[in-house]
Chain A
């Protein structure tokens, strides 16, 4: 579903939660091999996304609590702190060139979500 840009030699798949435990169009945070991963569920796209939970501009682990939505063709989370957008597919920050967050691979088995980090 999504590709990993964060290079991690020990990356393994970890089962985190059931899809229905994420309220529609919101996010949750999961602890995966020591990484804080923000997972979002878009009801309209019926799609899941996994990115880093750390907001490099606001400098806190909060991205899972941001609002998600579209900016043109891109699908983004807006940081709950200062509202910069991060592309959920590429991790890029739309406002600050050169700033990005890691994206993680994610898969669905039945209703269970697994993340590789």
Chain B
């Protein structure tokens, strides 16, 4: 039998999903698949498009690869558009003139951004937000712009605004409707979202109808509005909605809807035999579905029909949950309470900026919809109750009220969900699928992911999927595991408790009493860190040295070529000219690459193992101490100059920074900890981005906790205000020791707080109100740790025994001959691989 030929027009998310389903289907060998893409690449994840601005590469976004298509025999043509369909001959023709015959034709042409017909819209720097090329154009334009406007305050518009803001533009959102996200949110939710977004520096202008775009005064363009007002901007991104890409159907005699969209029936068939339409180009029941999950369902239905199955598309749940500019927003079902007789519950917290509303049926038994802004934890449960038409619990308002002490927990528990409940709408995975996977041996999220595909789309279902997995594991009597590795069936928190309570002082002791095997590079440093947090013994002592990770084991950060960096402590960033001179002299003598770090100190790079002791001897003699740049421990306490010199300073921020750095230096913790102290609210030390941030007030200090820079920045939370010195230190002692007790391995304080049950309020309860009656204990532990501080480098250079380890070869005085450097901007740097080729002999490798 000859193969059926399927042509897929458009290789976007849905077109690709269809092809993937064909390839994975049981009778894949009966089909020959050909696809055409107008874009220059195969399908990528449009849903995650915005992550391109936060560092994802095109490769990260790809949903497939040319290689994968080739391996599966899928024929593809890129950068070529299908322009003609001949239904009698059953052929398609592309812009480049290629003609191909089909047995079945799938239209998956997606949609295009709607640009309102405003005079002036076609100028340079007037852009849209849909493809990777669009994002490249926006990036380019942003480089030449200071101000940017997004036209459209819907879901995509706000994503675009986020991008512009991240690109450093002064960002504005123009919305025609009276509120943001008018489709999904009710008035209360929209208003709160606006307040939050404006607090982040994005200006929102609602009820603005743009009349024309003309040359600007202060900026490149001026947008003139119907109400007589105007706004100057250098660039504009239009995000005023999408329109189905139905050109191909329109021009070739396939029925389209009154306002566009290729008309399909429940089997995704168009008006012409053997032609189907799926995804955003398709119009079902006069509706276009602008989300990926319904498109994926259509792909499944179309394939089922081709293969003789009877699956049908009967509409889709349009609930959404997302984070827009850092704000959680969710909308479920009938968010606008349009159902006759609908009643509502509303909870609004103006202080914490949370808005939640539930829309219930006339008899109060069913959930019709919900809106959540500022906090969307209840989304999973509410969405499930809504789509599965489940009965609400007796006091439904509990589901949106904040949890009270000892009160019943929110929601109804995943047990109540039917097996058919769709947990992951992106990949169409039901509760039953997850349960089955767990029973089949998947016992962690990694397994569930690869087995069912759940959570690999938008990721919005992760929490719920995990709950179902954990619940099923429990049902099966399998303990839910948080083991740190194969050697210890305990979490880091449990190990920390065991070590503290049983006063365990060595890895061997712990392994014998609580572990198995020999340990590994996960548990050894974890235990090493816990031992150091509580007992603070010299980390290179004989029974601890084997636990230290890459950097701690030689008290320096290992560089890519195996050399080390040297970072002496410069508390608070304050340094005398004499000490600066010593650093210069040492760097010069050993030819070390020298750089000012982001932590207000100086890093000397490229020291070889055998040079470390000599270098540190000189530094210690000059009064320096180790900076612990290598440890999961206190790094730096940044300061601003404060009231000693600054016109605006209200306290001595440098003095406080130095005092804090001296107090906590050497404190090892689950991850590194950084502090900063600013002398007034201008915040020049950037304290709100630190684990511990201190900002001076007229009356004392404001304490911020759990901020983070790095990969996922988080502003610290204001923890307590106007503290005196003593209370400030007391609170920091307690917060840090509580973090050490209860955080996971390599968990920064930011993530720790986000995962701490009860959150900031609970932390305040523990630290300020001493609810657990632990305050004194935590302070005592800190005092003990501080009392045992030693400069590890000083101890090391004083011990001839310890110094033996600091040579490249145990049996020869030579250095590592493979090191190679080149000069750049007046200093050395490691030679790159191609530069090294000529310089050193080839390396040895096993055959």
Contact = CB atoms under 8 A, between A and B. Distances in A.
Contacts of B521: 66-67, 69, 78, 83
Interface in B480-511: 486-487, 508
Interface stretch (B631-639, B660-668, B802-810): B802-810
A109 B812 CA distance: 20
Contacts of B808: 29, 61
A81 B550 contact: yes
Interface string A77-114: 01011010000000100000000111100000000000
Contacts of A103: 846
A16 B192 CA distance: 71
Nearest to A14: B811
A77 to B, nearest CB: 9
Given A23-B546, A26-B545, A102-B845, A61 B833 contact: no
Interface string B594-638: 000000000000000000000000000000000000000000000
B613 to A, nearest CB: 16
Interface string A38-57: 01001111000000101010
B847 A7 contact: yes
Given A29-B809, A30-B810, A45-B518, 8 more contacts: A7-B847, A21-B804, A23-B545, A24-B545, A36-B816, A59-B833, A69-B523, A70-B520
A9 to B, nearest CB: 14
A1 interface: no
Contacts of A6: 844, 846-847
B810 A62 contact: no
A98 to B, nearest CB: 11
Nearest to B559: A60
Contact of A65 (B525, B553, B846): B553
Contacts of A36: 809, 816
B816 A61 contact: yes
B558 A81 contact: yes
Contacts of A59: 833
A31 B562 contact: no
B286 interface: no
Contacts of B845: 52, 54, 56, 101-102
A62 B809 contact: no
Nearest to A32: B811
Contacts of B550: 65-67, 80-81
A69 B847 contact: no
Nearest to B520: A69
B811 A70 contact: no
A75 B519 CA distance: 10
5 contacts: A17-B811, A29-B809, A31-B814, A61-B562, A65-B550
Contacts of A21: 804, 810
Contacts of B280: none
Contacts of A60: 560-562, 818
Contacts of A26: 545-546, 553, 805
A12 interface: no
Given A26-B553, A61-B562, A62-B562, A70 B518 contact: yes
Contact of A28 (B524, B554, B805, B814): B805
A76 B508 CA distance: 18
Contacts of B519: 69-70
Contact of B843 (A7, A54, A91): A54
Nearest to A54: B843
Contacts of B433: none
B847 A30 contact: no
Interface string A1-29: 00001110000001011000111111011
A37 B410 CA distance: 60
Contacts of A58: 560
A32 to B, nearest CB: 8
Nearest to A29: B809
Most buried by B among A58, A69, A72: A69
A24 B844 contact: no
B562 A28 contact: no
Contacts of B517: 69-70
B138 to A, nearest CB: 34
Contacts of A29: 808-810
A5 B846 contact: yes
B525 to A, nearest CB: 7
A110 B847 CA distance: 33
Given A54-B845, A67-B524, A16 B810 contact: yes
Contacts of A101: 845-846
Contacts of B558: 62, 65, 80-81
B844 A35 contact: yes
A22 B403 CA distance: 56
B65 interface: no
A71 B487 CA distance: 9
Contacts of A42: 518
A52 B546 CA distance: 20
B652 interface: no
B542 interface: yes
B549 interface: yes
B554 to A, nearest CB: 7
Nearest to A18: B810
A94 to B, nearest CB: 11
B233 to A, nearest CB: 45
Contacts of A52: 844-846
B520 A16 contact: no
A71 to B, nearest CB: 6
B543 interface: yes
Contacts of A66: 521, 550
B811 A31 contact: yes
A44 B486 CA distance: 17
Contact of B810 (A17, A56, A81, A100): A17
A52 B517 CA distance: 25
A45 to B, nearest CB: 7
A60 B562 CA distance: 6
B518 A69 contact: yes
Given A66-B550, A69-B524, A81-B558, A30 B518 contact: no
Nearest to A77: B521
Contact of B520 (A17, A43, A78): A78
